[in-house]
Every structure is written in structure tokens, then in C-alpha cells.
Amino acid sequence: DAKTTQPTSMDCAEGRAANLPCNHSTISGNEYVYWYRQIHSQGPQYIIHGLKNNETNEMASLIITEDRKSSTLILPHATLRDTAVYYCIVRPYQGGKLIFGQGTELSVKP
Amino acid sequence: EAQVTQNPRYLITVTGKKLTVTCSQNMNHEYMSWYRQDPGLGLRQIYYSMNVEVTDKGDVPEGYKVSRKEKRNFPLILESPSPNQTSLYFCASSLSAGGSYEQYFGPGTRLTVT
């Protein structure tokens, strides 16, 4: 399974866009990029996923570089409730378990 | 509301006393899975089920059992709990096991074994 690298922590001002980077330079062609977040010790929450194209939903946007070696999760207008640990996960086409790394601890500040 | 539910949410028990943590989903999902989360170790898969009557071991299955008699339910059974099973447990489900199907997690069960 491809390994991901994320910054340990980031800060963002409330109301501004939060851009969370993820490096997955060893990703293979049939692996998906997933983003989850975990607030305190709650269950991980699905945010978005993509294969090659950029994706957008009601929560966030996912920008995947053309070579697929990195991606960015964008929360367009961060709120205090977006403070959480964000996990970037590379998942094979066959699916199965999710492998959570250490993630990025995002702090949204007033 | 589409959701994954777990019960109990909190449980303190003693070594050796059998317990069951229930997991139920109302989304008609085929794939269900149990994870445990420990500080510094992240989330690790315990068992998973591809469909009714089909279960298989994950990365850390020792000391756990599961069953999948109905599509909606996937209980986790600890027949003789030990203190090293003190952890935060999450159940998850998805429409299918394939990589394009997102998994949805329950709220978690915090288990303490003394």
C-alpha cells in the first residue's frame, strides 16, 4: 500500500480556506486518495475521495496533481468545528481496510 | 438517518468476563469492519465481513470473535477480555469492499478492562 506524508499540524484562521497537503509519491494507477477526519475521539468522518480528477462535495474539494503524487484537501471556509485530525489515505482498487497514518492536526482559530 | 450505531458507548469490565459490543447499520451495506484505536498506533483492523456469513481476520484478530448472521449487524465478541484489550473500538460499513466505496464509522466504544 502506498505511504502518505502529511504535516503534523497546521493552523487556519476562522473563515479562511484551509489547505491540507498530502504527499503520496508511490501511489499506483489504480489507487484512490481518501480523506477522513476525526474530531477528538469520535468516529472518523468521511470527507471526500478521488482517483485522478479533482472532486468537490458539500464539505470540501480535493485537488490531485496530474502525476498523482500529491493532493490537497481544501476546506473553503473553515470554522471552529473543523478543528480535527485530518487523515490522507491511499486505498487500492480492491478496497478493504483503511490504513490511517498520523494525520494532520488542524487548529482553526478565531 | 443513515448511520452506524454501536452499543455500549462506554464499558468498564474485569478480566475474563465475556462481553459483546454490538454494531448495526441501516444502509444495507455489504461490507462491515471492526477497528481498534490506541495512542501512537493509529487505527488497526480487527475483523471484517464481506457479506452475511463471510468474515475474515484483519491485522489484530487475537482475542476477538465476530459473527455476521444478518446483513445489518456485526457484533464484536471478547470471550475472555484482558487489560491489553483496553482501547477505543470503531465499527465501519460500506456498500461494498471495493476501493471506490467510502466507509462510514460508528461513534466508538471505549472499553476498559481491569
Q: What is the pLDDT of residues B53-88, one digit of tens each?
A: 999 999 999 999 999 999 999 999 999 999 999 999
Reply yes or no on whether the pLDDT at A2 is more than 70.
Answer: no
Residues from B contacting A (CB-CB < 8 Å) are: 4, 31, 33, 35, 37, 42-43, 45, 48, 58-59, 88, 90, 92, 94, 96-108, 110
More confident residue, B42 or A81: A81
Of the candidates A79, A24, A81, the residue with the CA atom closest to the CA atom of residue A50: A24
Looking from the CA of A79 toward its CB, the CA atoms found within 13 Å total: 3
Instruction: Name the pLDDT band for B1 (thresholds 50, 70, 90).
Output: confident
- Cβ-defined contact of A43 to B96 (cutoff 8 Å): no
Q: What is the mean pLDDT of chain B?
A: 96
CA-based nearest distance A74→chain B, Å? 19
Can you list the positions of beta strands (E) in chain A?
9-13, 18-23, 31-38, 45-50, 55-56, 61-64, 70-75, 84-92, 104-109
Helix (H, G, I), strand (E, B) or coil at B9: coil
In degrees to the nearest 10, what's the CA dihedral of A9, A46, B63, A102?
A: -10
What are the tens digits of pLDDT across the range A17-62?
999 999 999 999 889 999 999 999 899 999 999 999 999 999 999 9
Q: Which of B42, B43, B99 is the closest to A95 by Cβ?
A: B99
* pLDDT reported for residue A94: 84
Residues from A contacting B (CB-CB < 8 Å) are: 30-32, 34, 41-46, 49, 51, 91-98, 100-102
- B61-69's contacts with Cβ under 8 Å and 24+ in sequence apart are B64/B34, B66/B34, B68/B32
DSSP assigned state of A61: E
